[in-house]
Amino acid sequence: MAQFTGSSHLECNVCHKVHRNVAKLLGPKAPDDWMTVHPGERLEAELTPDICILPCNGQTRHFIRGHLQLPVDESDFGTFVWSVWVELDEASMAQVAHAWNDPNRAAMPPLLGLLATELPYEQSTKGLPVSVHTRDLGQVPLLMLYPGTQHSLACEQRDGIAVHRAAELAGRLGR
């Protein structure tokens, strides 16, 4: 008999299949607008796994990568994480940069940002306001949609999702 870890061998009660090896952390390596700016602007830009500084039509835009977690109803699974980009204003980005190597940076008050990644939902996710919670050194910020946001992503963050839904989301992003 095959060996399985956790309870991943359980038949899904939605589609009656077995969901194996469902991705738990997904997202693009750059903000969506990285690809829409002029190639000349991209030459002037800075992109690391955590930060993007992007000249755009004579202005400078600031992005940071964070984790938007969706709790999954099966405890063995843990959380499903969207690794997404958030646009910050210049003052907020300066605060982030200032606190980047501060061991107490998790004590920073949350910042306001706007989602800069389109995720596979019916309604657009770009531009949704999120609060950006800086965490300890080595951890990317945690992103929280505001309570009362009328969007299925906000509902899923609040209420959690089934493993079936995690498999579906992972499949949609892969296409």
Label the pairing between strands 25-26 and 79-88.
parallel
- Whole-angstrom CA distances from 128 to 24, 88, 98 are 22, 12, 25
10 binds Zn ion (CB under 5 A): no
Alpha-carbon span 53 to 91, nearest angstrom: 13
| Residue among 41, 56, 67, 124 nearest 90 (CA) | 56
In angstroms, give the least distance from the CB of 15 to Zn ion.
Answer: 3
18 binds Zn ion (CB under 5 A): no
Residue type, 67: H
8 binds Zn ion (CB under 5 A): no
Give the total of residues touching Zn ion (CB under 5 A).
Answer: 4
In angstroms, give the least distance from the CB of 80 to Zn ion.
Answer: 14
Alpha-carbon span 66 to 57, nearest angstrom: 25
Q: Which residue is nearest to Zn ion (CB)?
A: 12
Of the two residues 24 and 135, which places its CB atom closer to Zn ion in the complex?
A: 24
In angstroms, give the least distance from the CB of 17 to Zn ion.
Answer: 5
In angstroms, give the least distance from the CB of 9 to Zn ion.
Answer: 13
CB-CB neighbours of 41 under 10 Å = 17
Strand partners, 132: 111, 143
* Window 144-173: contact mask with Zn ion (x via CB under 5 A): --------------------x---------
In angstroms, give the least distance from the CB of 46 to Zn ion.
Answer: 41
Among 10, 15, 35, 112, binds Zn ion (CB under 5 A): 15
The gap from C-alpha 101 to its chain's centroid, in whole angstroms, comes to 22
Q: Where do contacts with Zn ion occur on this chain (CB under 5 A)? A: 12, 14-15, 164
